Amino acid sequence: MRIVVCFVINILIVGAASAAQERATEIGALLLKDAAVSAAVAAVKANEPWVLEEQARLCEIPAPPFKETARAKAYAQAFRELGLENVRIDKVGNVLGERPGRAPRPHVVFSAHLDTVFPEETDVRVTRLGSILKGPGIGDDCRGLAVVLGVIKAMAGAQVQTEGTITFVGTVGEEGLGDLRGVKHLFDEELKGKIDRFVSVDGTGLGITHIGVGSKRYRVAFKGPGGHSYGAFGLSNPIHALGRAIAKIGDFQVPSEPKTTFNVGRVGGGTSINSIAFEAWAEVDMRSADPAALQSVDANFHRAVDAALEEENLRWHNRGKLAVDKTLVGDRPAGRTAANSPIVQAAVSATTALGLPVNLDEGSTDSNIPMNLGIPAVTIDGGGRGTGAHALGETFDSTNSEQGTARALLLAAALARK
């Protein structure tokens, strides 16, 4: 009897999943027939000049790594002015605001990230020439932040009612050594167990990211007594040990499929040309969308560093014996949302319903966390065209940029349905 019951349950589960997937493939076109949603999409184009103004305004508020507070406060105020409820800044700095549906569930989180890669002293003024906006972070992710506001404004103006609740979020710590701390906090504490579907709006274009590229990042520091380059010659040298390690890392053989990468991004150490350093360090980044491949290159990294330490100490017969610290400074889990899953198909449907091209992609974004947890998640681009991401001369071409806002609105409305 148990086998029969399980078999029947499996049929029901598969049937339900199939029905959900079928609905998802049609949802974009169906929503455009809804009067309120159609009015909201129409409003998007009229609102786009305002969205671009918000994009520039927010971008001129500095949000360097780990110091997003000023931009967070401005974003929270924008949420309040647009009528969101329970607007708050959580203990790690995320901004949250709720748009209640007829029911608490499904609960959709619709987000963009507040932080940039640029240090405090960066000139973040935005210039505009015709359709081109130029300034650090203007596309990544000031565009995402502005699109989220555009979705809220258009839905409110058209009085779109959703079955489920949408929480709009500006996250901290998406870039670099921020290590996704904002979105990790959402899933670990702030909204733990309450998120059914997750969307991040990040960057420019019209892509749909459904594969999360994982990464491991380390700060490696070789340490020893140091000394005079002539008088203390014969001591183990941290810089030489670091050089050995970097050479070994540079010889790694990694698969091209699944794409797996490694990089020594920063190095430092030493006090003068005529001193044996007492410390030398490097920061190392390794990535792959495949957890097993990432684990493999991570293991090779540890072996390389350990071997470099041993070789340098043996070279000088353990005189001035070195030690090494390997500090994990970034850990982004890999993840994947199946291309045929309802959330990806809903994103595809929203894209095609607007007559836009479909491009499924992979990347490292806030969506890595829910993907790794098995929670339906995608990251969508915010429209327009960008160049020079993470560069001081980053630009955003706003030609037809309202397409990204309209697609985001359709997807938000789609995911807030049961």
3-class secondary structure, 146: helix
Cα distances (Å, whole numbers) of residue 302 to 39, 87, 210, 261, 318:
57, 44, 30, 15, 21
Query: Domain check: are 165 and 93 in the same one?
Result: yes
Summarised one tens digit per residue, pLDDT across range 66-92 is 999 999 999 999 999 999 999 999 999
Cα separation, 384 vs 5, whole angstroms:
52
**Within-domain flag for 196:** yes
Summarised one tens digit per residue, pLDDT across range 333-362 is 999 999 999 999 999 999 999 999 999 999
**Within-domain flag for 40:** yes
The 8-class DSSP code of residue 383 comes to: B
* pLDDT over 70 (residue 21): no
Domain span holding position 159: 23-212+335-415
Q: What's the rounded mean pLDDT across residues 356-373? A: 96
Contact 331, 287 (CB under 8 A): no
Q: What domain count does the chain have?
A: 2
The fraction of the chain above a pLDDT of 90, given in percent, is 93
- At 363, which CATH number? 3.40.630.10
At 24, is the pLDDT very low, low, confident or very high (cuts 50, 70, 90)? confident
Token pair in block for residue 161: 């009612």
- At 284, which CATH number? 3.30.70.360
Which domain-ending residue is among 332, 353, 368? Answer: 332
At 404, is the pLDDT very low, low, confident or very high (cuts 50, 70, 90)? very high
Which contacts of 79-87 are long-range, i.e. CB under 8 A and separated by 24 or more positions? 79/152, 79/168, 82/149, 82/152, 82/153, 82/156, 83/152, 83/156, 84/152, 84/168
**Within-domain flag for 11:** no
**Burial of residue 305 (number of CB atoms within 10 Å: 0-12, 13-18, 19+):** buried
Which domain-ending residue is among 332, 348, 375? Answer: 332
